[in-house]
Amino acid sequence: MTWQERIVLDPAILTGKPTIKGTRIAVEFVVDLLARGWRTDDILREYDHLKSEDVQACLAYASEVLQSERVYPTPG
């Protein structure tokens, strides 16, 4: 599975933020829940229309975005 199978960017949904396909749940929301200590089981219990693969896809998407980020030092 790749994140592209489960994550979409549609300008008509949440102004184009990446969301889980077929929902209005943003990737950043899921990642934030995980950062706050929620477990995948907690998310799936609260949002029972999601699957564990959706949560994994959110993490894979976030990982890829962070890996592509470039930092350029500025002269100090």
Contact 56, 1 (CB under 8 A): yes
**What's this model's pTM, rounded to 2 decimal places?**
0.89
Is residue 17 a contact partner of residue 42, using CB atoms and an 8 Å limit?
no
Q: Are 23 and 50 in contact (CB under 8 A)?
A: yes
Dihedral, 26, 21, 48, 2 alpha carbons, nearest 10: -90
pLDDT digits (tens, 9 = 90+) for 55-65: 999 999 999 99
Question: d(Cα 69, Cα 4) in Å, to the nearest integer?
Answer: 18
12-55 per-position pLDDT tens digit:
999 999 999 999 999 999 999 999 999 999 999 999 999 999 99
Residue 71 pLDDT > 90: no
Nearest by Cα to 10 from 30, 32, 41, 19: 19
